[in-house]
Structure 1
Amino acid sequence: MAILPIIEVPDPRLRQISKPVETFDAELQTLIDDMFETMYDAPGIGLAAIQVGVPLRLLVIDLQESEEGSDEPGPKNPRVFINPEFSDPSEELRVYTEGCLSIPDQYADVERPDTIRARWLDRECKTHDELLDGLLATCLQHEVDHLDGTVFTDHLSRMKRDMVLKKLEKQRKQNRAA
């Protein structure tokens, strides 16, 4: 396994629409393993293939939800979503403070449907069709956005988006000076 470089805004590849996965082979399995290693190292809870420069409709998620009252991450629960799609978004919305490995250390409140019906293939090419809610629904919508060439700041007002991007640029300048 390998830790892959994560591309960051404003890299134009993040605006690319990813192509469906058609071949389930050893190369795909290696990519999935590398994506998990990269996500855990970052650390993050979700990573789309395009964020490591691979324009395929593939993403990995591990919420590592901890027990109530604990600051420690919970046990690993890696989930693979290949060619994910969702439908039936609830009218009830949920606000979650989102961050993104491609927009490091920047966070903003994003409003998304609280529940969605999702359909995807796992790494063994088994089909899943489930009603998802809460953080998993939010995370899946965030990662599917990446597959469609969208980043979470696209859901913000122009003023909030500009503020996040200015903070990111200021952080990058400080990191270069250090």
Structure 2
Amino acid sequence: MRHGSIPGVHGRVRPLTLLGDPCLRERCEDVTDFGPGLATLVEDLFATMYAAQGVGLAANQVGVPLRVFVYDCPDDDDVRHLGHVVNPRLVATDGIVLRGPEGCLSLPGLEAGTERYDHAVVEGFTVTGEPVTVHGTGFFARCLQHECDHLAGRVYADRVTGWRRRRLARQIGRAAWSR
């Protein structure tokens, strides 16, 4: 999932964690300190996401095992959704299940048809500790589910089935970054 860069973003671009790094497979820890370090992490996540032309990024994708993700993602009506969630919980998924192309900054250059619900609701907190609820439909719902999976130690490839799974496994094995 890719998106264009936005000028004026603060934060440091951090190296991306790629599939094979154990950090991507561990369940992330809840954030307990809502201080300046968290604000810096969120800024760095945005800067890294934009530099990599992504639409979402979880903290463990930059090697930080905390339950935080950022997003700048359109829905199917091309409405832009921009924000972050700390300690997110995927509280609802419903609607029809759609198989659509899904990629990941931690599996660069690859994508596969992945089944996701067409509607998702995530609850959590802002960087300042205020409660937040995020509703997503279409592509944005896919993004929310994808980022919540990351924080639980899963990647989209875990959800791919059948011949798509076999093809993706072959592509991962041939990818320069997986060697």
The verdict on a shared fold, with TM-score over 0.5 as the criterion, is yes
- 1: CA distance, partners of 2:30 / 2:116: 24
In structure 2, the CA distance between the partners of 1:151 and 1:28, relative to structure 1 (3 Å rule), is same
Counterpart of 1:31?
41
The match for 1:51 among 50, 61, 81 is 61
Say whether 1:61 aligns with 2:71: yes
Contact 1:104–1:168 (Cα < 8 Å) also in 2: no
Question: 1:92: Cα distance to partner?
Answer: 1.6
Whole-angstrom distance in 2 between the partners of 1:128 and 1:166: 40
| Residue 137 (1) aligns with residue 141 (2) | yes
Query: Which TM-score applies when normalising by structure 1?
Result: 0.84
Q: Pick the structure with greater CA Rg.
A: 1
> What TM-score does the superposition give when structure 2 sets the normalisation length?
0.84
Q: Deviations over 1:76-129 (max 9, x none)?
A: x53111111122321421222110000001011111111123211122222122
Cα distance in 1 between the residues matched to 2:38 and 2:25: 22
Name the % identity. 34
For structure 2, the 5+ residue unaligned runs are: 1-10
**1:66 Cα offset (Å):** 10
Q: Which amino acid aligns with 2:43?
A: D
Residues 16-27 of structure 1 mapped to structure 2, 5 A cutoff: 16-27=26-37
Cα 1:66/1:163, change in 2 over 3 Å? closer
Q: CA 1:17–1:38 in 2, change beyond 3 Å: closer, same or farther? A: same
Letter in 1 for 2:67: R
Assess if the C-alpha contact under 8 Å between 1:47 and 1:61 holds in 2: yes
Structure 1 residues 40-61: Cα deviation after superposition (integer angstroms, max 9, x where no partner) = 0011000000010000000000
Q: Distance in 2 between matches of 1:38 and 1:23?
A: 22
CA RMSD of aligned residues (A): 2.5
- Aligned pair count? 169
Runs of 4+ aligned structure 1 residues displaced above 4 Å come to 64-68
Question: 1:10 is matched with which residue?
Answer: 20
CA contact (8 A) 2:75 2:139 kept: no
Q: In the aligned structure 1, how far is the partner of 2:142 from the partner of 2:76?
A: 17
